[in-house]
Amino acid sequence: MAFCRNCGSPVDGQFCTRCGTPAAPAQEPPGAQPFTPAYAPPPRVAPSFMFAPGVEYATWATRVLGYLIDSVLVGVVAGVLLLVAIFGFGGLASIGSGFRNDGIRDFGGSGCCCVLALFPISMLLVGLWNKVYLVAQRGSSIGQGVMKIKVVNAQGQLITQGQAALRLLVHVGLSFVPAGGLLDLLWPLWDERRQTLHDKAVGCYVITNPVG
């Protein structure tokens, strides 16, 4: 039991019930070591770049313009593949008709169904170089470099080739889903960090890159 340092009366609580003097703080015995927990969890550190001054997420219009520039490359490759498909399947259909081979003729005639997949295939072929290799090496595709925007992770560093490849596969995969590609393109309009769905798949962000 503690006693008042003023009148010597017993103290039960923070003040003496007789004279009102505040109770003296408890004293540790001489030589006592302060208690420290055996394990203290490390403090949580928020990603630095997201709060760094001067860092801005790329605008939707800038991203769309970069996408359109990249689409020109995809269109060129798709055009080449289309010519190859027309001459290849058309030639098979002619050969099948000439030799009266229904199998070859029907296979050549089925080429029109393959045309529907030319654009996604072109996106994948061009993307392996433009959106995987270049993005992992310098942070931007051809179109993104022209528009001076950059793809980074939550720490502001370049993403790996594996992350860039997964990002591309999600982008191409969404183009096979009805309205999936359009939804992916429009998603930054209402997203707080202006991410597309294929950005969210790997946890990356597209920011302004004034130095180009």
Q: Each residue of 96-132: pLDDT tens digit?
A: 555 555 555 454 455 555 666 677 777 778 889 999 9
Query: Given a cut of 90, is residue 140 above it in pLDDT?
Result: yes
Query: Given a cut of 60, is residue 32 above it in pLDDT?
Result: no
Task: Tell me which of 19 and 209 has the higher pLDDT.
Answer: 209
Global pTM?
A: 0.61
Chain centre to alpha carbon of residue 78: 27
Contact 77, 122 (CB under 8 A): yes
* Measured CA distances, 53 to 48, 97, 192, 207 (Å): 10, 69, 17, 13
Contact 96, 105 (CB under 8 A): yes
Sign of CA dihedral 85, 141, 180, 172: positive
pLDDT value at residue 49: 56
Q: Which two tokens stand for residue 84?
A: 């190859």
